Chain A
Amino acid sequence: MKFLGYILRNARRNPVRSLLTIGSIAVCGFLTVAMLSLFSSADQLREEVKGYDRVIVMSSQGFAQPVPIALKNEIIALDQARGLNAIARRAADGKPLISPFSWFGGKYKDEQLSLFAQFGIDPDVFFDIYTELTLPADQLAAFKARPDAVVVGRKLAADKKIAVGDKFPLKGEIYNYDLDLTVVGIFDGPENRDLRSCYFNWDYLNEGLLSKASGVGANNAGTILIKCASTALIPPLCQAIDQATANSDRATKSQTEDAFIGQFAEFTKDLQTYINLLGVAVAFALLIICGVAMAMSMRERTREVAVLRAIGFRKPQILGMVLAEAVLIAGLGGLIGTGTALLLSKNWDAIAPLTMGFFPYLRIPPQVALAGIAGSLLIGLIGGYWPALRAASIPVVDGLRKVV
């Protein structure tokens, strides 16, 4: 500790160089921590939804290819016929908890892009399936009663300054049909769910397509969402559905919700791999940056180090002081980078709309934050080792002769 003052003074000796080194480590640390946390948040969401026993039935050709709405009733019949009783039923009236789940992909008002998720669903059962989403009872009743009703997430309502009773026009991009909806409710839910989405009555969309768009795209559910009675019943149900539709023009792929979300993670898997590789390259570059900065610094101080050696400082003490300086500079960069990532996560609501619902939530896990700081300390330690060793090993007499 008694050397700390001297180490701190040395770290501030060339402020521009120190700041540039700190800055480069901070920027890289920030990007690495933020990207790792984004992927980690997606993984966390996958883990959480496992507990809700939901199944998504989509076309075997991919989720961009819709499945017919007729499949919904066929699945209910199949479940009963096979005696599976896998589909959960509402306690009050025994209604099976199954709903279309159809991506609309429209543009809100005069927006140039579709910036948030819009799904056509069955208002009668949807909130019994997505129990983690909450809607006040009166608003739920209005949602079920009114065909042109739409409910919007709390964050979307806040972003667009939407209130109950407002008009909510969506211009069709996939469908040649515009929805003229009215907001009847604002739903809420856990922070890591997409609260910048909206849900409307699938029947309303379908009737519109039939009556005003020559039926193009009608009678398609997009995907079908099922709440299962238990986790154990998911595999036989999925198997039964896929077997029943196999070798037909509407072959399905049924899977758990977390597996469905996992598909999107698969899309970003290559990106993750590239980012990981890039992270290794960046870490190597940072090692060089840190090493060069320390080497320059120590070269300028060769004579001073020799003086320290002359007055009795031993090699390990010199090595320790130079390493401590490198670790201090790199660690400061890591702290700033990680701190900025934490700040970003606190203000993610301002960024999330730009991710179009794919990354509704960013949380920096403690282990990622710690890894970010530890990584920067390691960069300081490894990057500073060679210059430190050189500084400590220069013969005193040679060092004293050195004129820089």
Chain B
Amino acid sequence: MGRPPAIILRQVSKEYRRDQIRIPVLSRLDLTVAEGEFLALMGPSGSGKTTLLNLIAGLDRPTSGEIIVHDLDLTRLSDSQISRWRSDHVGFIFQTYNLIPVLRADENVELPLLLTKLSRRERRQRARTALRIVGLEGREDHYPRQLSGGQEQRVAIARAIVTDPYLLVADEPTGDLDRQSAEEILNLMEQLNREFEKTIVMVTHDPNAAKRATRILHLDKGQLVDDVTRAEPSPPKVAESAASGDPPYVADLDTARRQEARL
């Protein structure tokens, strides 16, 4: 692979219990994801994609096995420690955006920063920077209901990157979007992967979305059945509104990152 591993799964199994019935979802799964990789998880419904994503993101715990992310064994962390880890290192992008309807766009983006020691001014500044990166400058004061689906998802992406996490997890990020909005979101994710070197794990049913990833994993019945690494990802189709990686935005995020490192 060349790059050091960001995520290592060793013999990970997951089963749920419903009443007295055991429902195996993942079975003795081994997986390594390199830093800066854009991984697409595909497979039929019930194949365990979202469960795997939840385990990698520390939202759920495996029944057995080890999950190591950036040298940290998530299975050994307490509930509080894993919450802290998520807030520091993981950004979430959901299919239905999951924005807080009573908060403005900038306030939604600012939410994860409430868990940091940043001042109100710094939080605001970072939220606005993140919104600029996703091409929503000027929409800071809009409530989710005043935005289109694509814009809502961009706010969600801004919320995911505002803490500058090393891992982004996305569960069907384009599932609720029209084709054009989906393209814009995928461009943005590609940009975050290539230019900001975010490791991205994305669950999708959409082959077009999966094509944007550098690696595609197919799951079926809790097992990895196919693993395709593409040498060159398809070229990004950058939409004008998606703030296609202008250096000032990169500089903004770098500045924000340095400020946080100083804290």
Contact = CB atoms under 8 A, between A and B. Distances in A.
A6 B103 contact: yes
B137 interface: no
A400 B94 contact: yes
B87 interface: yes
Interface string B37-76: 0000000000000000010010110000000000000000
A396 B100 CA distance: 16
B212 interface: no
A308 B87 CA distance: 10
B53 to A, nearest CB: 10
A307 B120 contact: no
Given A311-B92, A311-B111, A397-B54, A9 B102 contact: yes
A128 interface: no
B84 A13 contact: no
A319 B115 CA distance: 15
B102 A312 contact: no
Given A310-B86, A312-B86, A397-B59, A3 B98 contact: no
Contact of A309 (B83, B88, B94): B83
A307 B98 contact: yes
Given A303-B98, A313-B115, A5 B107 contact: yes
Contacts, number: 63
Nearest to B156: A307
Nearest to A395: B60
Interface in A1-26: 2-3, 5-6, 9-10, 12-13
A312 B94 contact: no
A318 to B, nearest CB: 10
B83 A12 contact: no
Contact of B59 (A303, A310, A313): A310
A107 to B, nearest CB: 60
Contacts of B88: 312
A311 B60 contact: no
Contacts of A311: 86-87, 92, 111-112, 115, 159
A contacts with B: majority SS = helix
Interface residues of A, number: 24
B114 A2 contact: yes
Contacts of A396: 59-60
A397 B114 contact: no
Given A10-B102, A12-B102, A310 B114 contact: no
B19 interface: no
A303 to B, nearest CB: 7
A307 B107 contact: no
A212 interface: no
Interface in B78-135: 79-80, 83-84, 86-88, 92, 94, 98, 100-103, 107, 111-112, 114-115, 120
Interface of A: 2-3, 5-6, 9-10, 12-13, 303-304, 307-315, 317, 395-397, 400
Interface of B: 54, 57, 59-60, 79-80, 83-84, 86-88, 92, 94, 98, 100-103, 107, 111-112, 114-115, 120, 159
15 contacts: A6-B114, A12-B102, A303-B98, A304-B98, A307-B92, A307-B98, A310-B86, A311-B111, A311-B159, A313-B83, A314-B83, A315-B79, A315-B83, A396-B59, A397-B59
- 4 closest cross-chain pairs (CB), A and B: A312-B87, A9-B102, A307-B98, A314-B83
